[in-house]
Amino acid sequence: MKLSKLNIIAALTLTAGAALAANPMVGGAPMYENKNIVENAVNSADHETLVAAVQAAGLVETLQSEGPFTVFAPTDDAFAMLKPGTVETLLKPENKDALTKVLTCHVVSANAMSDAIMGMIDDDGGVHDVPTVGGCTLKASYDNGEITLTDERGRDATVTIADVKQSNGVIHVIDTVLLPAM
């Protein structure tokens, strides 16, 4: 059977449409399940600060590895809500350890979709402890299907876009930067 150019274009369009339907747009960019966390994050206009921080901390290679990882990805607006000068200070080479600690408090060594997180919350009576690779323990809860994470300082972050599948895990976009205990 011979395929015409029109049939090939139609098939590619349907395939691309199905890929987008499976994953939401983030920061105006399509997210693809066959790309890793870093490959997708660099395309999001809402995550430029996060990408710069991951690069400054030397975590690019780690987040491109097999995983699986769950990344709670704060937006640029979330970073902008930090005290003035905080991001600039963390991005300095001499503060790499502190930056790494902050970033790894957003990463879990598992592929945790939102329904699984809500199931763990239910199993634990309404609040589930989420240990991160950075040694932080987040408290996860939900209300009306909206997941909230509370960091060790009592700051709340809401998942604004859930279940963005990646080849090496999942991203959940959040509206607040999670911070480790002092």
pLDDT tens readout for residues 49-76 = 999 999 999 899 898 888 899 999 999 9
- Enter the pTM of the model: 0.84
Residue 109 — pLDDT band, cuts 50, 70, 90? very high
Tell me the domain boundaries of the chain. Answer: 5-174
pLDDT in the model for residue 22: 57
Q: How many CA atoms, within 13 angstroms, populate the side-chain half-sphere of residue 146?
A: 8
Q: In which order are the strands placed within the sheet that holds 107-108? A: 107-108, 69-74, 169-174, 156-166, 146-150, 137-143, 128-131
Mean pLDDT of the chain: 85
Pick the closest to residue 39 from 163, 164, 157, 158 (CA basis).
Answer: 164
**Could you read off the pLDDT of 155-171 as tens digits, one per residue?**
999 999 999 999 899 99
Fold of the CATH domain 5-174: FAS1 domain (2.30.180)
pLDDT surpasses 70 at 19? no
**pLDDT > 90 in the chain, percent:** 64
